[in-house]
Structure 1
Amino acid sequence: MKKKLRILLISSLFLVILIGCIVKFYRAEDRPKVVVVLKDFNSEYWEITKAGVEKGFRDFEVDGKVIAPKDGTVESQRDMLENVLKEKPDVLIVSPTSPDRIIPVLEKFIKTNIPVLLLDTYDPWKDKTAYIGTDNLNLGRIAGELLASHLQPGDEAALIGGDIPVIGKRIEGAKMSLEAAGIKIATEKVGLSDHAEITKKAMETILRDDPDVKGIITTNDIVAVDALKVIKDHGLKIPVIGADGIIKMIKLIEDGTLTDTVAQNPYDMGYLSIETALKVIKGEDVKKNIDTGVDVISQDNAKLKLDFLKGLLK
């Protein structure tokens, strides 16, 4: 009798496990499929974006994956997108490395009725379902206002821009605010690659040719950190405003080297892109432009931001 009971219990347990596996399998099969293609995983910014995407996958029960080319080149991203097209996801989310060269591939997704969301990098491409990211003109305006708050009318400022698609809007917004505050634009050095030596050389040139410069705005934090090293080497204390809010930049604020900066919200970009993708799959209306906002980081909130980012990247 005991033997039969034991066999019955084992059989029941096996049946419960089998049913659970079947339910789990079908639940996974029924989940919406979303693929996210970023520019690379070689920078903290994209690692933070990836963390937001993966949190979205979990919270919204999406069968998703987030990928990026190892070398970060346009060619590699194009090849990667061609392979994703064969997988036929329900929605594609992409941060195009170079919109002009990537959009012809994205048109193929549209032809096969796969909606495309642009993440982080805006382009006026008419066939996108939505753009999720920063209003870069507004980011530039806020950066300009922040720098102007540390200067006096008549002071000179310099603008340094990395080699990124959105640079034009950030520079435009910064110039609007600086000029409105009476700050003179002494020089612009734009289209620079994010290599430390190139940034340092540009900053050396600015300090040599425009010694009266009282403040710097850069279009990303990698450039900002490298520019600041040159300023420190010259024994100067000049405010530098970045754009991304990476850990190195926030530490400079926490230790008092800088007073403040502006920051995008890559984590929110990633998370909201998945939420938006799910709405698209369900047939709900979504905004064409979803602004993920701009934060001002100062000593008042630097530690809180730093703890949050360290928790994401540990």
Structure 2
Amino acid sequence: KKSETLLSNYKKPDGSLSIDGIFTPNESTAFAVLRVLQDNGWAGKVRFVGFDASENLVKGLASGQIDALVVQDPINMGYLGVKTIVAHIKGQPVEKRIDTGVRVATKENMDSPEMKDVLHPDLSQWLKP
């Protein structure tokens, strides 16, 4: 609802938006904005960059309703988190900030092996009973 209210402030008399682009900083706001854009017929008519990925956001990317997704690698984030805490417990020095890396997924590169790994991570190899 808040995304709809926010975007309604930029609605022109003809029903289109008076802005050129939107950036959302996380998955939940990206999905909320995508829904508002879809519901109002604005999807694909304004540049839209989201952050993180979910099934719905990846579908939006594939259909051209989202121009790009800034995505993180959850496997690498988990690995670096565990590695850092183990080093800390052992009394070893650790970095104050650790860049876990991001990638920018677009409709054009989303099917590359590198992007598939972060857009559709195969968690089965890591989550064994």
TM-score, normalised via structure 2 length: 0.72
Per-residue displacement from partner, 1:41-65 (whole Å, max 9, x unpaired)? xxxxxxxxxxxxxxxxxxxxxxxxx
Asked whether the equivalents of residues 244 and 265 of structure 1 are also in contact (C-alpha less than 8 Å), the reply is: no
Task: Output aligned runs, 1:235-274, within 5 Å.
Answer: 235-236=41-42, 237-274=45-82
CA offsets 1:212-242 (integer angstroms, 9 cap, x no match): 2111111212212221222233323112111
Unaligned runs of 5+ in 2: none
Counterpart residue number, 2:33: 227
How well do the aligned residues superpose, as a CA RMSD in angstroms? 2.6
Post-superposition shift, 1:208?
A: 4.8
Residues 107-139 of structure 1 show CA distances to partners (whole Å, capped at 9, x for unaligned) of xxxxxxxxxxxxxxxxxxxxxxxxxxxxxxxxx
TM-aligned CA deviation for residue 273 of structure 1: 0.9
Return the index of the structure with the highest Cα Rg: 1
Name the CA shift for 1:267/1:205 in 2 (closer, same or farther; >3 Å): farther
Q: Hey, what does 2:123 align to over in structure 1?
A: 312
Deviation at 1:257, TM superposition (A): 2.5
Report which of the two has the higher share of strand.
1
Q: Percent identity?
A: 30
Aligned position for 2:110: 301
Q: 1 CA distance for matches of 2:119 and 2:74?
A: 14
- Aligned residue type for 1:273: G
Aligned residue pairs total 116
Q: Are the structure 2 counterparts of residues 202 and 290 from structure 1 closer, same or farther at C-alpha, using a change threshold of 3 Å?
A: same
Correspondences of 1:141-180 after superposition (within 5 Å): none
- After TM superposition, which residue ranges in structure 1, 4 or more long, deviate above 6 angstroms? none
Higher helix share: 1
| Cα distance per residue 1:67-90 (max 9 Å; x no partner) | xxxxxxxxxxxxxxxxxxxxxxxx
Shift in alpha-carbon separation, 1:294–1:307, aligned structure 2, 3 A:
closer
Q: Which runs of 5+ in 1 are unaligned?
A: 1-196
Paired letter, 1:215: G
Separation (CA, whole Å) in 1 of partners of 2:18 and 2:103: 29
Equivalent runs, 1:33-72 vs 2, <5 Å: none
